[in-house]
Structure 1
Amino acid sequence: MRVRREFHRLKIGDRLTIRRASEADFPAWADLLTRLHPAIPASEFTADIAWWKASGDPFACFFAEAEEAIVGFIDARVRGYVEGAPGGRAAFVEDLWVDEAHRRSGIAAALLDAVERWACDLGLAWLGSDTVPENTASQRWHLAHGFSELERLVVYGKSLDQKPNE
């Protein structure tokens, strides 16, 4: 895997900081997730983050901060299976978001660099990610940052709620 060791030159200058979120940041992280997924309440994300923490599996969230405001974030976790990963366990980017006013400035790439370093520090050799088929901008971004498209799939599911005896 190609890992970039230096951050890209950012249009917003030296005022950008990339830092790993601490447990004290979990409420802010949940609020940021609602910007990416507005139909889901922050309370559901709070529960998801608590589950990740309780699971014992490695996970990380990194914030991009400019002028003391969070302008982007990325979160990733280690999964037992990731499409295309040799040997099973791999890091997976779950969410990536940059405030609209700061897009196309290199922040997403800097956040990706932080996750790549985190995954390498864990001894992982693969990083996966995904996007919905209609998000062509995300697809172009992934390809430009070293990802390869591996597959397209349609996911199905159904409830297994107990049905009344007939």
Structure 2
Amino acid sequence: MRIVLADEDHAGPWAQLRAALWPDQTAGAHRAELAPFLSGGSDAAAFLAVTDTGEVAGFAEAALRRDYVNGCETSPVLFLEGIYVRPEDRKAGVGRALCDAVAAWGRAAGCSEFASDALIDNADSHAFHAALGFAETERVVYFRKALAAAGGRALLPQVQPTRSRT
């Protein structure tokens, strides 16, 4: 298994693996999202695990985040945007090798912190991160409220803002 910087030659299999990780979109839709990683820009990179027979067995996508990253103190922060290894290639160090490549890229870009996230109920991801030396910094639950479209001219209420303690 070798770890390579992603290129257009592997876009099809890479998009298939993205669809396995994020099944809410088709592989075609995922392929359309690969451009930032393939452009050679300095703020995003992707690494692929490629078998001796040329199959893409996994990927890791990373970005340099310059906005606030939960639990971090510096900027930019190297952020693991996504990582996936085919089930048949797991437990063989492929995920670690991908993260090592991402970390080297981040260090070369001047990062001193490497961050990631996982859904609160994804215990497998939590264990993976812990095994690689990541420390949990905080747990967050995000909220959303849909706003109804205003018909006509919107009127703002005449109230004084108050500070919330939540």
Q: Equivalents in 1 of 2:9, 2:147: separation in Å?
A: 37
Give identity over the alignment, percent.
32
Gaps of 5+ in 1: 1-15
Question: 1:104 pairs with 91, 96, 109, which one?
Answer: 91
- Residue range with higher mean Cα deviation, 95-104 or 31-40: 31-40
Q: Equivalents in 2 of 1:48, 1:158: separation in Å?
A: 27
Gaps of 5+ in 2: 154-166
**Residue identity in the other structure for 1:131:** A
- Residue range with higher mean Cα deviation, 107-116 or 150-159: 150-159
Scaled by the length of structure 1, the TM-score of the pair is 0.79
Q: Does 1:75 align with 2:61?
A: yes
CA gap of 1:52–1:75, structure 2 versus 1, over 3 A, is closer
- Count of aligned pairs: 150
Higher relative helix content: 1
Q: Does 1:122 align with 2:113?
A: no
Q: Does 1:17 align with 2:10?
A: no
Scaled by the length of structure 2, the TM-score of the pair is 0.79
Greater relative CO (CA pairs within 8 A, separation 6+): 1
Q: Equivalents in 2 of 1:155, 1:47: separation in Å?
A: 27
Q: Equivalents in 1 of 2:148, 2:8: separation in Å?
A: 35
SS of 1:152's partner is coil
Which runs of at least 4 in structure 1 moved beyond 4 Å after TM superposition? 51-54, 158-162
Counterpart position of 2:75: 88
Q: Which has the larger radius of gyration?
A: 2
